[in-house]
Amino acid sequence: QVQLVESGGGSVQAGGSLRLTCTTSGYMYSNNCMGWHRQAPGKERELVAVINTLGSRSYADSVKGRFTISKDNAKNTLYLEMSDLKPEDSGVYYCAGDSGFGMVVAGTCHYGFEYWGKGTLVTISS
């Protein structure tokens, strides 16, 4: 059974930083594409950043230059370093992974996200 568990969320003031971690179990695809999504209250979920096993990355325009996605391929652990946080970055952040295709195309995992975590809450106060 595949499990993705996010951690590292919390409450910080605008301009601050947070590091999110997505720990996986049973996610055995050596070649994969993983990403972070977020959902603010009353809004649709949006893709924040993706990365594949080869290190290809893509970011939403709203977070470019402020967020960095990285992955420990040996552990299939995903990270999101967030800096210069803004109130509009608030929301529930979800980790997700594909089924071992590993392709980043047009800013997302080409074959979609098969596995999802339950999310971690990020709250940025002004």
Q: Are 17 and 81 in contact (CB under 8 A)?
A: yes
pLDDT in tens, 27-83: 999 899 999 999 999 999 999 999 999 999 999 999 999 999 999 999 999 999 999
| Rg of the chain taking only CA atoms, in angstroms | 13
d(CA 27, CA 42): 31
Q: Using CA atoms in the order 17, 50, 46, 90, what is the torsion angle rounded to 10 degrees?
A: -10
pLDDT in tens, 92-118: 999 999 998 999 999 999 999 999 999
pLDDT, residue 5, reads: 98
Q: Are 85 and 102 in contact (CB under 8 A)?
A: no
